[in-house]
Amino acid sequence: MELVIYTNRSDDKVVTKNIVVLGTIDGVLRDDCSIIDPVIAVSSDVMNNAMAAHCNYAKIAQFGRYYYVNNITLQGKFWILHMHVDVLASFQTELKGLEAVIARNETRYNLYLQDGYFKTYQNPHVSIRPFPAGFDEQYYVLSVAGSGGHTPTATTNAVDNDPDVDTI
């Protein structure tokens, strides 16, 4: 079984890893093997001490997955690599192709999604404008949501100064 071993310099949560290739080696599966947590035996003739010291990441092409090397032990003339699958790197093409609604991100967020960790405040902006023709025996209440305008003060309130406009 062919194994490409690397030094991984990235955080576990990063999809595209910053890895440096240490070499391509042949290994043998130990007893019953899991695709999620494989244990591979590699001859010490193939994998030297320097490679073993810096190896923390691997790819098994036959499984089509990348793995974190959690532990390396030496048994006789074999290095035993205990690994665990890196799901993000193994399926990065599929993950990057997905369309998703991201509820939380460190820089961008969606205020329309319910999120108890992101605080929002309601700061109403009130602007009062008179109707050009005033009111004729019917009263209308107009409420508009949007941007622009200004908040009137007691001295700039056009409603108070216009005799044609009735206040409620």
Question: What is the number of other CB atoms lying within 10 angstroms of the CB of residue 104?
Answer: 11
- CB of 29 closer than 8 Å to CB of 38: yes
| Confidence class for position 92, pLDDT limits 50, 70, 90 | very high
Averaged pLDDT of the chain: 80
d(CA 72, CA 91): 25
pLDDT of residue 45: 85
pLDDT of residue 154: 54
Whether pLDDT at 59 is above 90: yes
Whose CA is closest to 79, among 149, 13, 22? Answer: 22
C-alpha distances out from residue 145 to 113, 129, 142, 148, 168, Å: 19, 14, 10, 10, 21
| Confidence class for position 156, pLDDT limits 50, 70, 90 | very low
pLDDT of residue 157: 45
- What is the mean predicted confidence (pLDDT) over 150-166? 52
pLDDT of residue 107: 73
Whether pLDDT at 161 is above 60: no
- What is the mean predicted confidence (pLDDT) over 3-28? 92
